[in-house]
Every structure is written in structure tokens, then in C-alpha cells.
Structure 1
């Protein structure tokens, strides 16, 4: 009897000037127990020895692609268009896969057809490869992941380079340029159409380095994280993706949130400062949802001792939400009905 062919998995490894770690990362993928792999290394105009190191691997499963665009999102999307696998796995050029990562994730997707993406827990390692911690998501569900993405700032509810997607899902909703938050934007769009599963196994060694986004672009990442949540709420309530279809309005919302992000997060003087600025129905809707998300974050994620000190802030923020609802502008909080209880 002919043995059934295992699923083909495409592993996407975008890289730019990754000579320090690309060899170790690629070796960890080639040693996987699941051997039916297509490994696409997408080089983003490297100026070091990256290409020479990758070319030294004599394995027909490895293909080098040159990014026709510029930057991580272009590299990833080019790789997605070229991918032939039934599943597409993400991998960073400085991380290390445990030997059974691909096998375990394929088994999970095969057993759970309702799941569109599966990630895993991870060890944290430093630049020398020493374990310095871990990322663990115990009992994570699609619902709890959505709560985190909407109500929390930058963080790692999911380990992006540990993700594996169904090919048809990722080709339908590829990455978008969401400065330093393209992964959160992708998670939210996946959750609108499918489910995400987290394997409580540390299948990746996730490298923390001083040149990473989390160390250098905190303010931009916070703004972008907030705007992914706002756009998700707008899509749910208005049935229009403002990022793509109403880009002018989206940029205006982003500008306002950027200017007042710190003050909004405290819930202070919101209505007074924004009454003149929020003259469009869409802006009122977006800002109301954004403010409710911040209120819910204070209520649900603040430790008890701090929550007591912030009671007046919470009350005031709720009052501002009610003022917006009673204003002449139409307001709908359909997007938060499932996850917010006033």
C-alpha cells in the first residue's frame, strides 16, 4: 500500500543583514522531523554575507528569493505569493526551531479544521543563545487573544515567528503596512474569519536583541497597536475597512490618537479637548470605541491596588463615553458587545 504523502509546508524566512544568526536558524529548520518542506529565504537587500551563508546550504528544499520591494511586509507578501505549501510557517532569521515544531503544528491544524492559524509558546534567548525567560499563554483562546489585542498596548499575546497558517487563509489576507504592528493587524483580521490556537509547548527559541522593534520603536508601535484595534472595531460596526477604503479618515483618526495618546489613556479631559475635532460621524464612532477599549483595559487588566486609585479616572471615562452616545452623532458599539459589559 502506497504511503500517504505528508503535507507540504512552506517556511518563510525574511532576512536583512542577518549573517550572525541565519545559519543557525536555517539549520534548525532543515533538521525538522517533518521533512516535506519548502524553505523560502527572502532577502531584503542585505549588505553583509547573508546570501553567501544561505547559498552554502546544499539542500534542494532551500530557495533564495530577492525582495522586489522594500521592507519586511513586502518580503513576507512576496514569499506568500511564491509559496506552494498546504501550510505556511513563519520564522525569523535569528530564531531557532525545536526539532519537532513543524510536525506538532501540522498535526494541530490537521486535527482542528476550524483553526486557521496555530502558534506556540517560546523560550526567550539572548544574543549569545542563553535562555533568559519564556513566553507562555496558558489556556489561551481566540476570545482571550482578541481581548488582549484590543485592550492592551504592545506586547506578545502571540509569538509571531512561531505561527503556522493555512495557505488559503494567508493568501486571502496577506500582511499590510501597519508600522511595527503588522502582526497585530494580521491576528485581528484572522480572528474575524477564523480561530487561532496556541500550543502550550515551547517550540521556538525567540531571540531578544538590542536592535529589535520593541527596544527602538516603542512609541510608534504603541500608536500602531492602538490603530489596529480601532480599525478592527470600525470593520465590525461599519462593515468597512477604513485602513483600505477610507484611508483619509483613518489617517485623521490616527493623527488625533497620536497627539493625545497619553492623555486619552488616562481618560482625562477627553470630551472638552475633542469636541471640536470630532466633527465627523466616523471619528466619533472610532474614538468612542477606542475610549471604551481603554476603559475596559483599566477595569480588567489593572491590579486591584492600582484600580482603586484609578476609580475616578474610570468613572470619568465612562461618563465621556455616555456623552458621546447622547450627542447628535449616531453611535454603535456593536463591535464590543461580545467582549465589553458596561
Structure 2
């Protein structure tokens, strides 16, 4: 029996599924089973999966149920003592499983491990790196404030804590990974592998129609999380909502850059500051104000040129001395 079960939900993933599987096959830790849940794909996903010659690969096809349902279905097929998830368009560095597993085995109390995330484009070129954070042990209060684990492609979890946490919420259309990690963090301590090991692919496909859906889901997760959070942590709610509105601002500035999107971005960053004034001291908030300033005083195309120029001159986080391939 494989020690680790890796679950990939796949829906119409023909452009990226083989690259994702290749990054898993390159793992330095090889005692795993790879479970792909075909979530009712109508493209060549299944055809491409049939070309993969690897006894560790198992493919199960279902009618489309959505990402949370696909992950839940994957869990029912998993036999490993540890379970990991990766979306069908993301990548891992070769040492991801090895180092996360070692971190868990060094801490008998820890139930889950996470690593840092770097963001890549469709050509797998580095866009920027997420902020390096070192939260360990009881990370529950930190996760209430912000989804610093970033995506559903990150954690490695002891199976017994998957069983006590329950299923991914199938009613959520977004942020289901944050909801799950909050509930998981209430069950067990976490450990961190302080390396960029998750490569999150950002698509250039239009997301304007999805931003409203994401906003609704994230607010739902926030409200639900604080409904069950203990009294002594309720003071974090305004900070959490401020970080949420800061995130919405970034979404609108990235995907809905028309006059309506810019107005919505302005409204949301103002709301973030009203909820938690200290957020203006964060570099992320200052970048947002700078972008909004450029968009208000320059024509759109010129403003975007400036934003891209300053983004290259002053990247969010630099990655030094680490290969991401």
C-alpha cells in the first residue's frame, strides 16, 4: 500500500494535466498512489490520461460535481496514511512530498504540513512569490485572518485528521480550500516547510464573470468561520474582513480593469481601511493605492505600462537561491 495518496480533481484539463502529473512523477519521494478524479470532462482529458504509463496512477470518472465533490470522491478512493491534493493546472517542486512528509514525521502531534507558494503564468514562467510566512502549531487564529496557504494544491495531511475534519463543502463555488483548512486547523497543529514548493498557475482567461462568485463565497466562508470561532478570537473578525476586502480589490484590479472594476476596487479598499485602519501600513495596501492613483491620472494603457514597469523593478517577493524546477 502506498504511504501517500495524491488526489487530482480534473475537469477539462487537457492543456495542463500531463504537466501536473509529470511534476508528481518527478517527486523525490515515490511511494504514492496518484488518484485522478475525472469530473465529467468533455475534452481530451481522459484520452491524455490513458497515455500515462505508471502503475501508481488510478483514474475514476464521474458526472460533473464540481471541485469540492471531486476532492471528496478522491478521498473515498485513497488508501494512504497521508493525503495530498493538487489541482490539475498546478505544479510541485520535486522535493515537495519528501520535505512535507519529513516535517510531519518529525512532529508526532502535527496533522498537516504546508509550504510556500509561487505564482506562474501559462508558460510556467515565474510571476511572483507569495509572502513567506512561518506560522506553525496552532495556526487556527492566523487562518481565520487570511488564507495564507493560498490554494488547494498545498497541504499534506495525516489521514486520521481528514476523517475528523470531514468533507469539503460542496455548496461553495470558491474558497472551499480555505474553509477546509480552517476546519482542519481547529483539529490539529500544522508544520511549515519554509520553501517555495507550490507553483500556482494563473490563467490569462477572463475571470470577470467569476470575481462576483469568488467574493460571495469568500464572505460566506468568513462569516461561517467566525460563527463557530471561540469568543476569545472574535476580535479578529474586522482584521479578517479587511484582508478579505483587500483581496477583492486585487481581484478587480487584475481581472476587471474597466471603469466599473476600478470603482469597485476603490470601494473595497476603502472598506478594508474602515474595518482595520492599520492595513494602510501594509506594503500590499500601498501597492494598491499606487495602482489606483496611476489608473486615475493616466490613460488606461499608459497606467498599465507603469504598473508592469514598477512590478518588474520592485517585485512583491524575490526568490533567492532556490530552483523551482
When normalised by structure 2's length, the TM-score is 0.68
Deviation at 1:210, TM superposition (A): 2.6
Supply the RMSD in Å over aligned alpha carbons: 3.0
C-alpha separation in 2, matches of 1:200 and 1:122: 10
Partner of 1:303 in structure 2?
281
User: Secondary structure in 2 aligned to 1:210?
Assistant: coil
Q: Please, which runs of 5 or more residues in structure 2 have no aligned partner?
A: 232-265, 287-325
C-alpha separation in 2, matches of 1:304 and 1:79: 39
C-alpha separation in 2, matches of 1:141 and 1:222: 28
Deviation at 1:145, TM superposition (A): 6.2
C-alpha separation in 1, matches of 2:163 and 2:111: 12
Structure with the greater alpha carbon radius of gyration: 1
C-alpha separation in 2, matches of 1:8 and 1:45: 28
Deviations 1:18-65 (A, max 9, x none): 111111110111121111111001111111111111111111100001
1:114 aligns with 2:115: no
| Aligned residue runs from structure 1 range 137-148, under 5 A | 137-141=132-136, 146-147=141-142
Q: Which has the higher contact order (CA 8 A, sep 6+)?
A: 2
C-alpha separation in 2, matches of 1:90 and 1:212: 25
Q: Please, which runs of 5 or more residues in structure 1 have no aligned partner?
A: 239-261, 268-293, 308-342
C-alpha separation in 2, matches of 1:14 and 1:41: 6
C-alpha separation in 2, matches of 1:166 and 1:212: 37
C-alpha separation in 2, matches of 1:114 and 1:217: 39
Deviation at 1:142, TM superposition (A): 5.6
C-alpha separation in 2, matches of 1:211 and 1:37: 33
Compared CA separation, residues 22 and 137, structure 1 to 2 (3 A): same
| Aligned residue runs from structure 1 range 104-253, under 5 A | 104-141=99-136, 146-147=141-142, 149-151=143-145, 156-172=148-164, 173-176=166-169, 177-211=171-205, 216-237=209-230
Aligned match of 1:55 in 50, 58, 61? Answer: 50
C-alpha separation in 2, matches of 1:39 and 1:32: 12
Compared CA separation, residues 128 and 79, structure 1 to 2 (3 A): same
Partner of 2:255 in structure 1?
none
CA contact (8 A) 2:151 2:177 kept: no
Deviation at 1:204, TM superposition (A): 2.3
Deviation at 1:128, TM superposition (A): 1.0
CA contact (8 A) 1:125 1:205 kept: yes
Deviations 1:111-148 (A, max 9, x none): 1122222111122110011111112333234666634x
C-alpha separation in 1, matches of 2:106 and 2:275: 34
C-alpha separation in 2, matches of 1:295 and 1:197: 31
Partner of 1:26 in structure 2?
21
C-alpha separation in 2, matches of 1:223 and 1:61: 38
Deviation at 1:166, TM superposition (A): 1.1
Larger CA deviation: 80-89 vs 65-74: 65-74
C-alpha separation in 2, matches of 1:123 and 1:20: 20
Compared CA separation, residues 75 and 203, structure 1 to 2 (3 A): same
